[in-house]
């Protein structure tokens, strides 16, 4: 069978320009394609009437990875083909294998924003390879090991860490004077550590203890 004849017949450069925009979720992309690209609309309804074979799926996503949004329960082979063509299509895979996650993250650590339920290993690799604090919100599997790696890599984004331990809070306030702002109900130990390293942080503490107040007055 020739390379998905149906696609080669109805998809041209101009139509591809209208479908190539990444979207945040499956529904948004499908709506966009149905409204703006007649050929994608034909493919969508063709597949609604008759489920495509794996070969047809592979040939479709090889041309445009976003077509993964049209496919229910794609095989891993289909998934790999799609993300090779368009990394952002990873968003349409609910529980990607660690193997696929690693493939995507090794292309670019910023791709973490495309991965649903990244594993601890994947998150650690992303952090070890320079993931910026601005992407911390996508680290959803925050084990203690991951949290420690996060704070050591970028203490300016402690607000992205879920329920940071006191140890992590101490690292943050030593390194960043305003970290205390993002710590809910900091302990006296954390407050003291903050003002010892950055006296100016005292004004950022909502309810400083008497001991902390005294320390600031006498140092």
**What digits encode the pLDDT tens for the residues 50-88?**
999 999 999 999 999 999 999 999 999 999 999 999 999
pTM above 0.85, yes or no: no
| Percent of the chain clearing pLDDT 70 (strictly above) | 89
* Mean pLDDT across the chain: 90
pLDDT at position 19 is 53
Which pLDDT tens digit goes with each residue over 108-120? 999 999 999 999 9
Give the residue extent of every domain in the chain.
1-92, 95-161, 164-219
Contacts for 60 with CB less than 8 Å, ≥ 6 apart: 4, 7, 43, 52, 67, 70
Binned at pLDDT 50, 70 and 90, residue 162 comes out as very high
| pLDDT bracket for residue 21 (50, 70, 90) | low
Residue 196 has pLDDT above 60, yes or no: yes
d(CA 77, CA 32): 26
CA distance 69 to 216: 58
Positive or negative, the CA dihedral 114, 119, 122, 124 is positive
Tell whether the model's pLDDT for residue 6 goes beyond 60.
no
Does pLDDT of 10 surpass 90? Answer: no
- What is the model's pLDDT at position 25? 85
B/e letters for 132-142, b = 16+ CB within 10 Å, e = fewer, are eeebbebbeeb
- For position 204, what pLDDT does the model report? 96
Max mean pLDDT among 16-20, 24-28, 71-75 falls in 71-75
pLDDT of 33 over the 50 cut: yes
Angle 215-216-218 from CA coordinates, rounded to 5°? 65
DSSP 156: G
Is 23 a residue whose pLDDT tops 90? no
Closest CA to 175 of 162, 202, 199, 156: 156
């Amino acid at each position: 069978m020739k390379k998905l004849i149906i696609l080669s017949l109805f998809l041209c450069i101009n139509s591809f320009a209208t479908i190539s925009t990444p979207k945040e979720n499956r529904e948004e992309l499908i709506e966009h394609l149905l409204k703006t690209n007649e050929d994608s609309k034909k493919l969508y309804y063709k597949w609604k009437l008759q489920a495509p074979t794996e070969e047809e799926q592979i040939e479709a996503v090889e041309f445009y990875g976003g077509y993964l949004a049209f496919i229910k329960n794609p095989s891993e082979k289909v998934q790999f083909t799609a993300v090779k063509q368009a990394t952002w299509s990873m968003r349409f895979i609910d529980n990607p294998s660690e193997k696929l996650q690693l493939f995507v993250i090794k292309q670019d650590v910023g791709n973490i924003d495309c991965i649903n339920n990244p594993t601890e290993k994947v998150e650690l690799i992303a952090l070890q390879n320079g993931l910026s604090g601005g992407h911390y919100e996508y680290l959803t599997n925050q084990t203690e090991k991951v949290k420690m790696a996060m704070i050591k890599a970028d203490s300016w984004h402690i607000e992205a860490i879920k329920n940071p331990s006191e140890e992590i809070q101490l690292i943050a306030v030593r390194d960043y004077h305003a970290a205390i702002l993002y710590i809910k109900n900091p302990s006296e130990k954390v407050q003291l550590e903050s003002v010892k390293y950055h006296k100016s942080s005292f004004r950022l503490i909502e309810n400083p203890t008497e001991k902390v107040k005294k320390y600031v007055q006498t140092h």
